Structure 1
Amino acid sequence: MNILILGDASDAHAAHMKNALTQAGAAVDYLDTSLFPKQLRLSWRPDTQVGCLTLPSGRRLNLDDIHSVFWRNFSGVSVPPLKDFNQQQVAFNDSMSTMRSLMQACGTRWVNSWQAYQFHKEKPLQLSKAKQIGVTIPTTLISNDPQEVREFVEVYQKVIFKPVYGGAHTKLVTEAHLELNRLTMALSISPVTIQEYIPGTNIRSYAIGESVYTAEIRSPALDFREDLEAELIPIDLPEAVRKQCLAISQAFMLEWTAIDWRVKPTGEYVFLEANPSPMFVHFERQTGFPITQELLDLLMY
């Protein structure tokens, strides 16, 4: 059984999955797209749906012989620098189009898919979709309008901000942030996501197939990702929230995901985010939840 891991050995989670899949009897290779087109070869015929992949090691795989792909990291493609910028842009676009076509047209099972990855990048749309399926989300504003931002902040006693796309940790809005010149300059560079602060507890749920594993994350940090000493305590989800986890996975086109919640003192669960390629090894070691085995089951059967 041939299984690919999208990523490379420098990523601890990719290496963990390669080792686990190999021990389970699969033939496993990394699919490092940053090596395309210089070291990675790809051919595909849309008329016959036949294609093949030749890895840098020289190992050649027919696309039909690839049982599944575990999506860990997508590194794009790497086109050598050319003197002619237009030629380089054409080469980059051609390479990316070829790679995107492989990810979408190949009948191989992707865990998770290109479509899920693309949807995750549009986080305002993700929040909107969660709301549409009946999941509670924070009161949220995405804007680059200083007046809109200041009016939003005035309504709530405590407000947080974070990037629209991601890539930085959550911070509390302060009076200094709202100073008009500073705010106008910042919002002229990029919009921002502003949300009401939700008091309560951080909860993370891993939804894998039909299984859901959940732990409370005990940390004094505003953004628990900053706290390497955060304590993970396994909990049982209310049945209604467990069903919401599965509904979120389906609505977001996810085979597996980590869903972050904030639970109010009243017990209400508020959805924050669902990640299509979450880190999990530390979580698994701390809680004992069989996440690796669940992923093996998804990829091998």
Structure 2
Amino acid sequence: MILLLTRSLDPTADMVIRALGEAGTPVVRLDPGDLPHSVEMSGRFEQGKWRGRLKTGHREVDLAEVTAVYNRRPNPPQAGAPGMRPEDAQWASNECYEGFYGVLYSLDALWLNRPDLNRTASLKPLQLTVAHSSGLRVPTTLITNSPDDAREFVTEERSVVKTLRGVPQRDADGAPGRPLIVYTWEVPPGEVDDTVAQAVCQFQRLIVPRFEVRIIVVGEQVFGARINSPSGREGEVTDWRAYQHTDRISYTRIDVPDTIHDGVLAYLASFGLLYGDFDFMVDADGQWWFLESNPNGQFAFVEYGTGYPIARAVADLLTKGTAGHVTNRSR
């Protein structure tokens, strides 16, 4: 039994569920954000094991039957009741999180990937260190909230500024809503001002790409997609994501060099992960530059653009079952 944790709207999860169905592998999808109101859990620890169940409005899962957990993009538990103080609702939500994931982490199940490992692997300064130690080429980078250090850095060579984490979800009027995207952009020296002091910022040497690459790793399988876009050209946006959903971008298959192939596998092994997305720039000299990795990124656009069977690869890995059946870096 595969337990798939994600929110209600997740096209990537839908693709994996279809692939699991084609393989005849049973799967139950639920969102921890529905806990405790429409998800019920009971776990009993006895004789060294957790036993119990998860129950939704439509399905019931015996914890003993869970062989793998696919952690996609679940919401955190949302407790609360009429008249409950906000601080008490937050405490109750935290209790739900601790109990839910504490029991699931204890099962003899393969994880793709555990949320706690994803969180560590999402720290971008740490990513650069691990990438370098894995044999990957990394641009010179500055992490700072010093305006003077930032000005000096961008004056030395052409540089870009990048977010360290996704921005909050909000609409144009400030109300909660869809996630905003803050693109990577080049920073002329004259544009660095004292607002740098308001948060720790990431500056990085500009790599002018001949083209860019998105790599998807599922277990030991490595899928390379060349990204063809105007990104990096004179007068164009530095970030290829700005061209998504336009006719100015395309994705084609590309062979991944052995050094990069081995490097991304070593990188994921360092974090104890079975899945990861990687972004590279390839410069005019053919050098591959590691930019960042998303341990929980979506792959639908790569599969649609290249025809790679990525969803099937994810389904096959999950279907192989418990950590005893597959080398599970998550344990």
| TM-score, normalisation: structure 1 | 0.90
**AA of the residue aligned to 1:75:** N
CA drift of 1:237 comes to: 1.8
1:1-301 matched pairs, under 5 angstroms: 2-47=1-46, 48-80=48-80, 82-156=83-157, 158-167=158-167, 168-175=182-189, 177-178=191-192, 183-188=193-198, 190-200=199-209, 201-221=211-231, 222-228=238-244, 229=247, 230-301=249-320
Q: Which moved more, 1:98-107 or 1:227-236?
A: 98-107
Over residues 229-287 of structure 1, what are the superposed CA-to-partner deviations in whole Å (9 max), with x where a residue is unaligned? 31112111221221112112212322122211111211211111121222222211221
| C-alpha distance in 2 between matches for 1:215 and 1:49 | 43
CA contact (8 A) 2:147 2:196 kept: no
Percent identity reads 28
The CA distance in 1 between the partners of 2:92 and 2:282, in whole Å, is: 48
Alignment-mate amino acid for residue 127 of structure 1: L
Q: Is the 8 A contact 2:139 2:290 kept in 1?
A: yes
Equivalent AA in structure 1 for residue 206 of structure 2:
Y
Count of matched residue positions in the alignment of Structure 1 and Structure 2: 294
Shift in Å, 1:202: 0.7
Distance in 2 between residues matched to 1:24 and 1:9, nearest whole Å = 23
What is the identity, as a one-letter code, of the residue corresponding to 2:201?
A: V
Distance apart, 1:50 and its partner CA: 1.5
For the 8 Å contact 2:20–2:312, the answer to whether it is kept is: no
Residue 214 of structure 1 aligns with an amino acid whose one-letter code is: G
Q: Distance in 1 between matches of 2:278 and 2:300?
A: 16
Residue identity opposite 1:271 in structure 2: F
The one-letter code matched in structure 1 to 2:40 is R
User: Which whole-Å CA distance do the structure 2 matches of 1:141 and 1:51 have between them?
Assistant: 48
Structure 1 unaligned segments of length 5 or more: list them.
Answer: none
- Unmatched segments (≥5 aa) in structure 2: 168-181, 232-237, 321-331
Letter paired with 2:291? L
Question: Over residues 119-163 of structure 1, what are the superposed CA-to-partner deviations in whole Å (9 max), with x where a residue is unaligned?
Answer: 23311111111122332111111111111111111111x211111
Does structure 2 retain, via aligned residues, the 8 Å contact 1:70–1:110? yes
Code of the aligned partner of 2:80:
P
Q: What is the CA–CA distance in structure 2 between the aligned matches of 1:298 and 1:244, rounded to whole Å? A: 21
Q: Which moved more, 1:168-177 or 1:216-225?
A: 168-177
Aligned residues of 1:260 and 1:274 also touching (Cα < 8 A): yes
**8 Å contact kept, 2:128–2:138:** yes
Residues 128 and 281 of structure 1: is their aligned pair in 2 closer, same or farther, counting only changes over 3 Å?
Answer: same
Whether contact under 8 Å (1:126, 1:252) holds in the other structure is: no
CA positional deviation for 1:224? 1.3
Instruction: For residue 218 of structure 1, report the CA deviation from its aligned partner.
Output: 0.8
Question: 1:46, 1:169 → 2: CA distance?
Answer: 47
- TM-score scaled by structure 2? 0.83
- What amino acid sits opposite 1:187 in the alignment? A
Question: After superposition, what is the alpha-carbon deviation per residue over 1:40-90, rounded to whole angstroms, capped at 9, x for unaligned?
Answer: 122223453223332322532222201212121021111125543442232
Q: For residue 103 of structure 1, report the CA deviation from its aligned partner.
A: 4.2
Deviation at 1:203, TM superposition (A): 0.9
**Residue pair 2:7, 2:74 contacting (<8 A) in 1 also:** no
Q: CA deviation at 1:106?
A: 2.5
* Higher relative contact order (CA closer than 8 Å, sequence separation 6+): 2
